[in-house]
C-alpha cells in the first residue's frame, strides 16, 4: 500500500494552519489569553449582555468548551455574570473594565499577527482564501446540526 499525499487532505492542512496560528498567537498576541477566549471577549464587545449559549453559537464553540472559556475569563476578572431578570436560570455576560482593556490591547496585536499569517497571499488571494474557508467552515457547522440549514444558524 502506498503512502497517502496529505497535501490533498483538508484536515491535515487545517491542522497545519492551526499550528501556525497557535505559534503566531502565542508569540505575537498572548500566552495568557487564548484565541477562543479572545473570540468570546470580542463577541461581548459586539453584543454586551449575551448569555453563554448565544456567545458559544456566535464564536463556534460547543457547550462544554464555552462553559470552560467563560469560567476562565470570569476567574481572571475579564467578564462578569448577571442573572437574567427574564429567566433566573440564565446568566448574562458583560466585560469588566479590565476585559475591555484586554480586548483593546489584543485587537491591535491580532491585527499585526494576521498580517504576518496572511503575508504569503496577495490582497486578492486573501479575499478568495477567506471566502473559501468561510464557506467550508459554514458547511461544517451543518455537521453539528444536520437538520438545520446553514443560513438559519447565522
What does the pLDDT look like over 105-115, one tens digit per residue?
999 999 999 99
> Does residue 60 register a pLDDT over 80?
yes
Give the Cα separation of 45 and 99 in Å (integer): 9
CA-CA distance, 154 to 135, in Å (whole number)? Answer: 13
pLDDT reported for residue 144: 66
- Name the burial class of residue 29, with classes exposed (0-12), middle (13-18) and buried (19+) by CB atoms within 10 angstroms of its CB: buried
Cell 499525499 found at: 5
- Alpha-carbon distance of 144 to 111, in angstroms, equals 30
pLDDT at 84 over 60: yes
Statement: residue 64 has pLDDT above 60 = yes
Is the confidence at residue 68, as pLDDT, over 70?
A: yes
pLDDT reported for residue 154: 45
Amino acid at each position: 500500500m502506498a503512502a497517502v499525499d496529505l497535501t490533498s487532505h483538508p484536515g491535515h492542512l487545517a491542522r497545519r494552519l492551526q499550528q501556525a496560528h497557535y505559534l503566531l498567537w502565542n508569540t505575537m498576541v498572548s500566552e495568557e489569553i487564548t484565541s477562543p477566549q479572545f473570540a468570546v471577549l470580542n463577541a461581548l464587545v459586539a453584543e454586551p449582555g449575551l448569555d453563554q449559549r448565544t456567545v458559544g453559537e456566535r464564536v463556534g464553540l460547543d457547550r462544554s468548551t464555552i462553559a470552560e472559556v467563560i469560567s476562565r475569563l470570569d476567574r481572571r476578572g475579564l467578564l462578569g455574570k448577571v442573572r437574567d431578570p427574564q429567566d433566573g436560570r440564565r446568566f448574562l455576560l458583560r466585560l469588566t473594565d479590565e476585559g475591555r482593556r484586554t480586548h483593546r490591547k489584543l485587537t491591535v496585536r491580532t491585527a499585526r499577527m494576521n498580517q504576518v499569517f496572511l503575508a504569503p497571499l496577495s490582497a486578492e488571494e486573501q479575499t478568495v482564501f477567506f471566502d473559501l474557508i468561510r464557506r467550508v467552515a459554514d458547511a461544517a457547522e451543518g455537521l453539528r446540526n444536520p437538520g438545520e440549514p446553514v443560513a438559519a444558524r447565522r
